[in-house]
Structure 1
């Protein structure tokens, strides 16, 4: 039943039986289903022709009543085309394509017919081509272009038939560009502009040159488009983004800021400017401003996309960072050498490492034993107030680990199966950005606090059949559990809340991956709750300083992660941001000769 053609043939068989019984309604339903499985199946189209000629047949068998079935749209389109109503038929097919872009809905004889373009008024054709182009990705991934090939051919036939129709040329340019033919698209747009200069033709040319990475021509075309509408702030933003892609960030930002001087909250320019500014100086303040804007304009998909794009590659903004502990590196080495064979052995660590790292190791390699040889000061097993005299936190009440010598043992019971499944469902993917993670974690708000604490040290099984991903899986689980804790008792004011107290206890407890996860939840809270920002900046800052002081006498494996959290925290003190920022890379060595330049590493 996984074969679409077999499923379509089954539906055709049922349609024939229904038709033999005189039940045209049920026959029509089965034919419509067959067309969804196999749009070009000849037997389905033969039955459709029989239904068209039946006494109670015709397009009325496929009513467009909401909610309408996709197969009903396809069947009605084919019946209308058979009656010569090609414009309405193509309109329906385009709507089906927009609904499910990967369907081969247009791979049918009447669409592939080179004469189709002559059967539709060119202005109507322009409208249909433009409406499809508007919902296509730009460009379509190469492996997804084949279903759209009939529309590209339709454009080519139409252009040959109406070579002097300016609107058809630029509308066709938009479609073929998205279908992966930017060179052809540029030619169509330029022809359109020569015939009748217009903003649309210039924009189409600019985008085609952009996809070709012919930056000067793209810039000239978009500036030419702006001459037709000087107040168009979307075009200002597009030019800025184009120059940015061309490697001219400052020039691009100048264009976007020109738009902001006219409209400081413009829905396109504001997000783009914040993203560019963040890329220029790395100051998270720009992304926080964008998150503030997104809360006030929740439907702005461009703002959400810009925030996601700039968050994705940054530790804690878009993902939990990779583990760097020696025991995790050992885990990878053992797995690489052992292959599928069970691994046993004994290893020695010169100092304690985060209990969660040892937990991940034990889950993957239960036959290995780890011995810790020394405990340098300050003792990583103790809470921060016990080893760090300064700071805003003077005591830690709640703990999830207890140490028996150097061995960490969970002190909270395992979570309920329902809670484990709920956290695991979120942990399978990274988050788009911190505000998005906070919002998604509201799904965990109804879980008991004890369950969320239990997940931290009794993680659910990893759903991926690759043991080497266990460390990252555990880090994701712990992050999402702490994001869930950030929603515990949301009715309580932040300063006196249980959720704040619990996250502080976890963050200032023994040095662990849970420390990072709890701080990440505090930072996410600060992103969405401006009233918490000063408090969170102080908590994150002091925890980082405690780790930095400890690192002067012993390794602190989570220090780089804490640096990333400092840089991600809204309203963090500038001195701490400078302390946490990575050291600037040394300038590249000046090449001594032409040969050195030719053979430099990329």
Structure 2
């Protein structure tokens, strides 16, 4: 038996085995069994462990008598299950041993439970009941990821090899073939999975073989054929869908969605819901298909509302996470588009750039002051000057605030708040993330900031801590420091959303401060505060009407301002509004128009740049010289940042 435990695991297992042997010598067999159960979790393949198990069985009067040392009643320890499997194998009860090994794979598939000598016995496939093996395969494979990640495959492969050997001994056992198809499919052998499932379906064209055949066909790239198999099986279940066929109907509906035909899937879900209004998957799946049909975040909000009303319906949460993944504001902080940030990226991409470089930037028009935080985070010796302030003046708040983050000396911004206390800054630093599973998850994650003083949460908006000293933090600092600044501001505002939640929302400090920030000067803080308000609306439906009215003010301002000057956060604000689908339809339409207009504007600029380059190449005798960037120790970069 190959031994693969690492040093720490091996030492831990060896220590447990040593104590177990002392207990065996003293006659305290239950104590010894407990230590061997601990040892098998540390290093399942340790040879001394299996030797000690044999010694324990001998001391107990044989493997059959040793069973009671590893009881399976009530809450059972995983190490106890694995040791009991080995004891059952030693006693010759192969069916029970296989079932227990499958349970261990089910609960922790990455451990080498199946790397055991008795499972590899050449005669074992002829000693087991195929019904018992089919049940064991269903238990082991039912919770495995589909497909199985490559890092888990080595641990599960010996079990798969054993199952295939049993299939070879029982080639016409329909249930075994169907279950084996599911395991084989997860390990990536989709053609073999189809072969097994098709044979099972020919032998017994019932519900389970149909389900497994459809799954195999779908994994093998034949979804239309899978639909035909599943719909034929559901046709046999007419006119009433039972529990098992209702889940198959959900699979049919979602496969239509995956094929880009969500409208064809919705009637199946309507049938399920008509028979079972509280079906745990049908209503969430319906929201998912409707989102696939029109892209509205209203259906994602409906998923969140559904999960809040039915916390046991985990599928709603799973689906919401999947559909929110990497979507601006729904699952991540959007990037920044300021000219300052664009040039920052260029400078950071230069291999000669260091934090000691002096950088002098001249920008044609005023930009959000938080963009300077990002630049100075990575390059603290930067100097940025702004040539003009375009109208409407982005320094002016939409209303007179009690909470101010920024002040200006002419065009030079400076913080209007004191830095946070070190312990508050560190807690925000530990909490901030650039991605999150869902909007409610981001809101819940920030609850750890509920006890941070309000002044400190506001202070961190203008005085962000450095990124965490991990791989992601170092990558952000080196390449995209603006994402870290935006993450800090986002979670600081989410922390404000948790401040004094005992105060009724209409007159609360958290509402007052977040509205001051939302309606304050044009800055990334506006977006962060807006997201905090959106998150409150997602999690507290009674606040939605009030929050919609406040978001409208910022949306209308952005629409008016973009007519006379560039609004760098236009697309992000549009995405933020779309993440609040309870806004009036006219406002949501405007938000979509702003997002599309910003995309079209940037695409047009890219096309014009490409056309200009092509025309130059065709008509000019030589390309015009590029603006030069000077870089020398003790010197500076000079860049003129255009707007337009």
Q: State TM-score, norm by structure 1.
A: 0.89
- 1:481 positional shift: 1.4
- 1:429 positional shift: 5.1
Structure 2 counterpart of 1:376, from 370, 387, 390: 390
- Distance in 1, Cα, partners of 2:12 & 2:182: 39
- 1:128 positional shift: 1.3
1:478 is aligned to: 489
Structure 1 counterpart of 2:256, from 243, 249, 255: 243
Contact 1:200 1:225 in 2 (8 A): no
User: Deviation per CA, 1:214-268, whole angstroms, max 9, x where unpaired?
Assistant: 0221011111221343313322211111122223232223433343444455321
- 1:173 positional shift: 1.6
- Distance in 1, Cα, partners of 2:45 & 2:474: 39
Could you tell which deviates more after superposition, 194-203 or 21-30? 21-30
Contact 1:533 1:570 in 2 (8 A): no
- Structure 2 counterparts to residues 8-157 of structure 1, below 5 A: 8=10, 11-12=13-14, 15-16=17-18, 19=21, 22-23=25-26, 28=33, 31-54=36-59, 58-64=66-72, 68-157=76-165
Contact 1:199 1:229 in 2 (8 A): no
- Structure 2 counterparts to residues 68-467 of structure 1, below 5 A: 68-230=76-238, 231=241, 232-339=245-352, 341=354, 342-385=356-399, 395-428=400-433, 430-463=435-468, 464-466=473-475, 467=477
User: Deviation per CA, 1:23-44, whole angstroms, max 9, x where unpaired?
Assistant: 4656655544443343223333
- Distance in 1, Cα, partners of 2:132 & 2:279: 33
Change (3 A) 1:566 1:115: same
Contact 2:395 2:522 in 1 (8 A): yes
Q: State TM-score, norm by structure 2.
A: 0.84
Which secondary structure state, in structure 2, belongs to the residue aligned with residue 402 of structure 1?
strand
- Distance in 1, Cα, partners of 2:588 & 2:274: 30
Contact 2:347 2:353 in 1 (8 A): no
Contact 1:526 1:570 in 2 (8 A): no
Could you tell which deviates more after superposition, 447-456 or 536-545? 447-456
Contact 1:206 1:217 in 2 (8 A): yes
Change (3 A) 1:152 1:534: same
2:520 is aligned to: 509
Change (3 A) 1:530 1:343: same
Say if 2:546 is the partner of 1:535.
Answer: yes
Which secondary structure state, in structure 2, belongs to the residue aligned with residue 403 of structure 1?
strand
Change (3 A) 1:72 1:510: same
Change (3 A) 1:72 1:495: same
- Distance in 1, Cα, partners of 2:208 & 2:216: 12
Change (3 A) 1:121 1:469: same
Which secondary structure state, in structure 2, belongs to the residue aligned with residue 409 of structure 1?
strand
- Distance in 1, Cα, partners of 2:320 & 2:56: 52
Contact 2:284 2:316 in 1 (8 A): yes
User: Deviation per CA, 1:171-190, whole angstroms, max 9, x where unpaired?
Assistant: 22222222222222222222
- 1:439 positional shift: 2.6
Change (3 A) 1:416 1:239: same
Change (3 A) 1:100 1:217: same
1:493 is aligned to: 504
Which secondary structure state, in structure 2, belongs to the residue aligned with residue 384 of structure 1?
coil
Contact 1:253 1:273 in 2 (8 A): yes
Could you tell which deviates more after superposition, 43-52 or 130-139? 43-52
- 1:164 positional shift: 2.0
Change (3 A) 1:313 1:13: closer
Could you tell which deviates more after superposition, 21-30 or 254-263? 21-30
Which secondary structure state, in structure 1, belongs to the residue aligned with residue 480 of structure 2?
helix
- 1:13 positional shift: 6.5
- 1:552 positional shift: 1.8
Which secondary structure state, in structure 1, belongs to the residue aligned with residue 362 of structure 2?
strand
- 1:401 positional shift: 1.7
Change (3 A) 1:68 1:417: farther
Contact 1:9 1:34 in 2 (8 A): no
- 1:82 positional shift: 1.1
Change (3 A) 1:340 1:77: farther
- Distance in 1, Cα, partners of 2:21 & 2:263: 69
User: Deviation per CA, 1:334-377, whole angstroms, max 9, x where unpaired?
Assistant: 11114463322211111221111101111110122111122122
Change (3 A) 1:75 1:355: same
Contact 1:459 1:474 in 2 (8 A): yes
Change (3 A) 1:203 1:20: closer
Could you tell which deviates more after superposition, 405-414 or 274-283? 405-414
Contact 2:406 2:416 in 1 (8 A): yes
**CA RMSD in angstroms, aligned pairs only:** 2.5
Gaps of 5+ in 1: 386-394, 587-602
User: Deviation per CA, 1:382-425, whole angstroms, max 9, x where unpaired?
Assistant: 2123xxxxxxxxx3221122222322222323323343333333
- 1:461 positional shift: 1.9
Which secondary structure state, in structure 2, belongs to the residue aligned with residue 151 of structure 1?
helix
- Distance in 2, Cα, partners of 1:529 & 1:129: 44
- Distance in 1, Cα, partners of 2:74 & 2:130: 30
Contact 2:99 2:135 in 1 (8 A): no
Say if 2:575 is the partner of 1:564.
Answer: yes
- 1:146 positional shift: 1.6
- Distance in 2, Cα, partners of 1:273 & 1:7: 47
Change (3 A) 1:9 1:505: closer
User: Deviation per CA, 1:461-520, whole angstroms, max 9, x where unpaired?
Assistant: 201112223210111111111112112222222222221111100011111111001011
- Distance in 2, Cα, partners of 1:397 & 1:361: 28
User: Deviation per CA, 1:559-589, whole angstroms, max 9, x where unpaired?
Assistant: 1111111211132122222222144999xxx
Contact 2:326 2:435 in 1 (8 A): no
1:551 is aligned to: 562
Change (3 A) 1:13 1:247: same
- Distance in 2, Cα, partners of 1:113 & 1:242: 41
- Distance in 2, Cα, partners of 1:554 & 1:429: 29
Contact 2:297 2:579 in 1 (8 A): yes
